[in-house]
Structure 1
Amino acid sequence: MQEVFVGQEDEIPEGGRKVVVAGGIEIGVFRVDGQLQAWRNECPHQGGPVCQGKMMKGVEERLDADRRSLGIHYKEGSLHVVCPWHGYEFDLRTGRHAGLDRIRLAAHKVTVRQGAVFVSVNA
């Protein structure tokens, strides 16, 4: 593993991101709930630049007791990124696709030392 410098911790605000090239791989580093998460900038669907997509609250459908739709809403406390190519939506805390648990973003380890942010990549 190789650690690559991303930037200073204060360069990534809450709900923000920074996309860097590390070891020839594009990686998006996001701050969600005060935590830094790093995901490969490659959508598992068809390789789109997912980390450069729109960030928004997760969308979910409300159902009544008979499982009839009550409409969709934005889920409070969630933050997703939407791939700009085909609209695949991923939870930025877990990397999981919003509808299919088996589809996930590739994670990279984030380390912060003395305010400097690093991501780990395979050398």
Structure 2
Amino acid sequence: MKDVFVCQEGDLADGSTLVVSNTGAEIAVFRHDGAYYAYRNYCPHQGGPACEGVRMPKVVENIDEAGFYRGQSFDESEFHIICPWHGYAFRVTDGVNANDPKLRLKKFDVTVQDGQIYVRI
């Protein structure tokens, strides 16, 4: 395994994403709540660019006690990466699909050394 330089720490603002291809494959680095996460930019569903979609809070279906649908809301405690091809949602923090835990993005370790961000591949 080797560490591949991604960018300077100040180059990636919280809530932003950077896709790099100098690793042999496209890898997206996310900064979320001050932490860094890196995934291969490849959706396990049909190979779409999973990490290039929107990043949004978890969508919650609101069903009342009688079983009636009462709309949707957002759970700000869990953010998802949404694949732009077919809308598959993956948790930012671990890359696991929101509906099927067998589907997950390939995760890479991220380190910060002397103000520089590296991905271990």
Give TM-score scaled by structure 1 length: 0.90
What is residue 60 of structure 1 aligned with on the other side?
60
Percent identity over the alignment is 43
Unaligned runs of 5+ in 2: none
What are the residue-to-residue correspondences of 1:107-118 with 2, within 5 Å? 107-118=107-118
Distance 2:68 2:101 in 1: 23
What is residue 2 of structure 1 aligned with on the other side?
2
Secondary structure of the 2:90 match is strand
What is residue 97 of structure 1 aligned with on the other side?
97
The amino acid that maps onto 1:28 is A
What is residue 28 of structure 2 aligned with on the other side?
28
1:46 lines up with 2:46 in the alignment: yes
Unaligned runs of 5+ in 1: none
Secondary structure of the 1:79 match is strand
Give TM-score scaled by structure 2 length: 0.92
Secondary structure of the 1:60 match is strand
Give the count of matched residue pairs.
121
Distance 1:101 1:64 in 2: 26
The amino acid that maps onto 1:49 is P
Shift of residue 78, structure 1, vs aligned partner: 2.5
The amino acid that maps onto 2:47 is G
Instruction: Judge which range, 39-48 or 53-62, deviates more.
Output: 53-62
| 1:72-95 Cα deviation digits (max 9, x unpaired) | 112123321111111111111121
Distance 2:47 2:87 in 1: 12
Against the structure 1 CA distance between its residues 68 and 99, is the aligned structure 2 distance closer, same or farther, given a 3 Å change threshold? farther
